[in-house]
Amino acid sequence: MKNIALLTSGGDAPGMNAAIRAIVLSAHHYNYNLIGYYHGYNGLINRECKSLKLADVNGIIGRGGTILKSARCNAMHSEQGVNQAILTLENDKIDALIVIGGDGSFKGAIKLAKHWQGQVIGIPGTIDNDICETDYTIGFSTAVNTAIEAIDKIRDTADAFERVFLVEVMGRRSGHITFNVGIATAAEQILSFENFDCTDQAARLNDLSNDIKVVQQNRHAGYLIVIAENLWPEGNTNLAAQITNKTGIDCTPCILGHIQRGGAPVAKDRILATKLGIAAVQAITEDKTGIMIGESNGAVVTVLLQHATQKTKEVSQRLIKAQHDILSVSNQG
Ligand SMILES: Nc1ncnc2c1ncn2[C@@H]1O[C@H](COP(=O)(O)OP(=O)(O)O)[C@@H](O)[C@H]1O
Ligand SMILES: O=P(O)(O)OC[C@H]1O[C@](O)(COP(=O)(O)O)[C@@H](O)[C@@H]1O
């Protein structure tokens, strides 16, 4: 008999609810008590919680967001905040804590594990897919699909007007969403941290403008640029204005924003979340701690949280090269 606690932290990601459901069902299977803390680490610090029962997770597998709410909790960056969180876990007699979130949330979990005797298990939940030692994070596939759906629609106007669109996608400072969405929408350009050095802004603007003019002359079609958020130093809306000025062709900025974080999770995220949720509870039965449950080559793996947070997972070089090679051909005619 164990008391397990669960929270979701950082940016919400489609599939978090599916993971919560799997954890509730597995905990029930092992006869464990399960408490959910609300609003990320704030729920630990302010002791906002609820016992989670089977009835709480009926019908949530297909819902975006998280029934436990999420938050970015500044207090966890201070020793006082971490101690307060630990005090709550001790007072509530928690044996194991499952944290569903991104690398920031895992760093918080590592701090808790340093001074708290209970088991700490992480489940990767972020649309950014930037966590090492797991092929995918929960929410990434849905975010990519959502962005593709939106950009396919923008493509119609781009082609009809032979117009340029600069579409910004999320990912913080990592290009997994940018590259996957760019490739899947046959974007004329993919601009991300991994392939676009903005140090010489004037030169980059020149290259881009020349390419736009050549492609439009060759193809008489739209020109779609998929760009990572936080890339262009003066902001992507600004970049669109600069392109318009330079080429004399309208370049419309379009920021997809939070639609990428919401909506019903696709099958891949529901299934991944279910597998990881079940494995997290299984790991608790085996007295494991300080680990993330991930997936590698289709198999569930356990990895030290320290390793998972050591660096940001890079976009595959093969994907970057594929885009580069395809682009050089497709933009010719
Ligand atoms: N270095 C850290 N130490 C302690 N807690 C952290 C740290 N980084 C992030 N956190 C906690 O995790 C929360 C979510 O982190 P954030 O980076 O915003 O999202 P994500 O977990 O999705 O990467 C933060 O608001 C904070 O409460
Ligand atoms: O909505 P917010 O708090 O401004 O955060 C935006 C950020 O959150 C994300 O959507 C998800 O990031 P995390 O999962 O790491 O929290 C990023 O892609 C984006 O940069």
Give the HSE-up count for residue 158: Cα atoms under 13 Å, Cβ half-sphere.
27
pLDDT at position 238 is 97
Is the pLDDT score of 301 beyond 90?
yes
Which residue has the CA at smallest separation from atom 12 of ligand 2? 11
Q: Which atom of ligand 1 is nearest to the CA of 103?
A: 23
Question: Which residue is closest in CA terms to ligand 1's atom 14?
Answer: 10
| pLDDT tens digits along 106-130 | 999 999 999 999 999 999 999 999 9
Q: Tell me the three state secondary structure of residue 5.
A: strand
Which residue is closest in CA terms to ligand 2's atom 1?
11
> If you ran DSSP here, which 8-state letter would residue 55 be given?
G
Q: How confident is residue 274, by pLDDT bands cut at 50, 70 and 90?
A: very high
**pLDDT at residue 285 tops 80:** yes
Mutate to test the pocket of ligand 1, among 16, 39, 72 (most ligand atoms within 8 A of CB): 72
Count the Cβ atoms, other than its own, within 10 Å of residue 228: 27
DSSP-assigned letter for residue 263: S
Residue 23 near residue 276, CB atoms below 8 Å: no
Q: What is the pTM of this model?
A: 0.98
Domains detected in the chain: 3-139+265-308 (3.40.50.450), 142-261 (3.40.50.460)
Question: CA-to-CA distance for 137 and 124, rounded, in angstroms?
Answer: 5
Neighbours of 184 (CB within 10 A): 15
pLDDT at residue 173 in the model: 97
The answer to whether residues 97 and 120 touch, using CB atoms and an 8 Å cutoff, is yes
Q: What is the pLDDT of residue 220?
A: 86
Alpha helices (H) in the chain, listed in sequence order: 16-29, 42-45, 79-91, 103-115, 140-161, 176-184, 201-219, 236-247, 267-285, 305-308, 317-330
Please name which of 100, 104, 98 lies closest in space to residue 72, comparing C-alpha atoms.
Answer: 104
Instruction: Name the residues annotated as catalytic.
Output: 128
* Separation of alpha carbons 186 and 179, rounded Å: 10
Residue closest by Cα to atom 13 of ligand 2:
11
Nearest atom, ligand 2, residue 261 CA: 10
Q: Is the pLDDT of residue 333 over 70?
A: no
Which residue has tokens 């991994």? 194
| Ligand nearest to the backbone CA of 257 | 2
The chain-wide mean pLDDT, for the chain, equals 96
Q: What residue ranges line ligand 1, CB within 6 angstroms?
A: 9-11, 40-41, 72-73, 76-77, 101-105, 107-108, 111, 126
Q: If you search the block for the tokens 């989670």, which residue do you land on?
A: 52
pLDDT of 178 > 70? The answer is: yes
pLDDT for res 217: 87
Q: Which residues contact 8 (CB under 8 A, 6 or more apart)?
A: 16, 20, 40, 66, 68, 69, 70, 100, 101, 125
**How many angstroms separate the CA atoms of 177 and 169, rounded?**
7
Q: Which ligand is nearest to the CA of 72?
A: 1
Ligand 1 atom at minimal distance to the Cα of residue 101: 21
Structure tokens at 39: 């609003």
Instruction: Give the number of the ligand closest to the Cα of residue 140.
Output: 2
Q: What ipTM was reported for this prediction?
A: 0.99
pLDDT value at residue 59 = 97
